[in-house]
Amino acid sequence: MEKRSEIEVASSRKSNLKKSFKLALRSLLTTPSLQPQEFSKAFPKFSSAEQERLHRLFIQVISSLHGNIEDDFESLCDETQVGTILDMVDQVVEEQSLDPLYPDK
């Protein structure tokens, strides 16, 4: 039972890392400048139709970029064995009693 709990904690840490990355990425790529009104201010000499098309293209590029960055992050995590490294860090923290949240351990 102890081993299963350790595996769940490790996979939880890796999962939390990935979720945090995705949330940060989403925050960066969904700024107010993505709103059509703000986007139009950047291109005042374009017609409304041109601004609309340009905005749609911009959204497509950002969406594609978002997906590519997430995929690259996932691949990088796998290539660098993030889960294994997080396990090792947890083990060292436990062995050395380095966890500041549990000083009595």
Q: What secondary structure, in 3-state letters, does 42-80 show?
A: HCCCCCHHHHHHHHHHHHHHHHHHHHHHHHHHHHHHHHC
pLDDT of residue 29: 81
- Domain assignment present for residue 105? The answer is no
pTM given for the model: 0.67
- Domain assignment present for residue 36? The answer is yes
pLDDT of residue 6: 53
- Domain assignment present for residue 100? The answer is no
Q: Which domain holds residue 84?
A: 2-94
pLDDT of residue 101: 66
Q: How many domains does the chain have?
A: 1
pLDDT of residue 34: 72
- Domain assignment present for residue 6? The answer is yes
Residue segments in the chain with a per-residue pLDDT below the cut of 50:
1-2
pLDDT of residue 83: 87
- At 41, list the tokens: 């201010």
How many residues are given for the chain?
A: 105
Which residue carries 């709990």 as its tokens?
5
